Amino acid sequence: MKVDILLGLQWGDEGKGKVVDVLTPRYDVVARFQGGPNAGHTLEFEGQKYVLRSIPSGIFQGDKVNIIGNGVVLDPALFKAEAEALEASGHNLKERLHISKKAHLILPTHRILDAAYEAAKGDAKVGTTGKGIGPTYTDKISRNGVRVGDILHDFDKKYAAAKARHEQILKGLNYEYDLSELEKVWFEGIEYLKQFKFVDSEHEINGLLSDGKSVLCEGAQGTMLDIDFGSYPFVTSSNTICAGACTGLGIAPNKIGEVYGIFKAYCTRVGAGPFPTELFDKTGDQICTLGHEFGSVTGRKRRCGWIDLVALKYAIMVDGVTKLIMMKSDVLDSFETIKACVAYKVNGEEIDYFPFDIEGVEPVYVELPGWQTDMTKMQSEDEFPEEFNAYLSFLEEQLGVPVKIVSVGPDREQTIERYTEE
């Protein structure tokens, strides 16, 4: 068996949680391979809305194994709050959620360091969520991290050493803080974590594959936030691309099957960083309002703009995408004209590839007629208006990959699978 991978192709917030929930019935296992509680996956079904931060989106399907992989960074306090909220709504996590021993723990001092580093940057700040993600991955790479498996081995000693090191850094930054409440809630989270099954996830996943089980790997954030291939330095601290599933779960590259790439019918971004197609007019505000573009974790308003096909083609290339999934098509239902960026202008020269630096590039647009039809009640592609079909055909021609699934609303039922030729 091979694993299938599902990831975002833009700057995150593409709608990965909903799609994982829709696809999960086809799989035996759902595994999260990177990121932390800075990424929220929103799912809506049966009149309820859920936001998942660290827990894989397959958790709502009762008979599935869900794995938090070694590439994830985990905050015990936030995990406890998230898990208890799910359990209160009737979902039994302890029987179906496994946590990698090699996943790194976000310490209370990591969150304080995150705030201190951002404050020190002044106007050059990246715009992090303040959840301690960056400092945790920094400790991981510098070989100073504390891992989930350490909870079972000399934990107090390892925690104390990490805390002392962080406090020395904070002293040098002259940053004032109060650790008491954060630490209290964090240790309550550690005790709660002990109720779950800690696993060597690389052995578990490869064993499941050998047993013929089907596995869906779930990414967080988006390709354009990848630490290596995103719009650096305005990126996250992990590898959000397809290859991140290999290192974040212990899967060999030859075990990868389908790669599902998710994108919105337009584009959004949260926080600082270049955004070539960003709109600063009423159209951008309209997209934001219609799309409810506010962060599921932070509540921050997302920056909105037209779809960027230059960036999308780049993401498809580095991820090896085999099937595309377009989200939030319905948000553009009322627009008379739809724009798509097909090239950039850099110093007066037109280019059709994603360059080293996208700061200040000028988008080159083509215009397409809008469909001006309410698509939210549609249940099959036979109902799609002619203009929408033309938009899909245009995208497939530009991107070279078929759009297999189209979302026309937030509910899991508002998902239409297309029967396009391979």
Binding-site annotation, residues for IMP: 13-16, 38-41, 129, 143, 221, 236, 300
- The active-site residue out of 41, 80, 102, 104 is 41
Q: Which helix (H) or strand (E) holds 397?
A: helix 386-399
Dist. CA 134–CA 119, nearest whole Å: 14
- The active-site residue out of 13, 28, 114, 319 is 13
Other Cβ atoms less than 10 A from the Cβ of 7: the count is 28
Query: Measuring CA to CA, how many Å separate 85 from each of 81, 95, 105, 108, 157?
Result: 6, 16, 21, 21, 31
- Is 41 catalytic? The answer is yes
Other Cβ atoms less than 10 A from the Cβ of 379: the count is 11
Q: Find out whether 260 and 5 touch, Cβ atoms under 8 Å.
A: yes
Q: Find out whether 223 and 240 touch, Cβ atoms under 8 Å.
A: yes
Phi, psi (5° rounding) for residue 343? -160, 170
List the binding residues for substrate. Answer: 296-302
* Cβ partners under 8 Å of residue 170, min gap 6: 109, 112, 113, 116, 177
Residue type for 396, please? E
* Cβ partners under 8 Å of residue 379, min gap 6: 416
Coil, strand or helix at 35:
strand
- Is 285 catalytic? The answer is no
List the binding residues for GTP. Answer: 12-18, 40-42, 302, 328-330, 407-409
- The active-site residue out of 140, 313, 323, 404 is 140
Dist. CA 251–CA 31, nearest whole Å: 11
CA proximity to 275, closest of 305, 240, 309, 241: 305
List the binding residues. Answer: 12-18, 38-42, 129, 143, 221, 236, 296-302, 328-330, 407-409
DSSP states along 168-209: HHHHHTT-----HHHHHHHHHHHHHHTTSEEE-HHHHHHHHH
Dist. CA 383–CA 374, nearest whole Å: 11
- Is 203 catalytic? The answer is no
- Tokens encoding 422: 């391979």
Coil, strand or helix at 416:
strand
Other Cβ atoms less than 10 A from the Cβ of 21: the count is 23
Other Cβ atoms less than 10 A from the Cβ of 129: the count is 20
List the binding residues for Mg(2+). Answer: 13, 40
Q: Are strands 337-346 and 307-308 parallel, antiparallel or unpaired?
A: parallel
Active site (catalytic) residues: 13, 41, 140
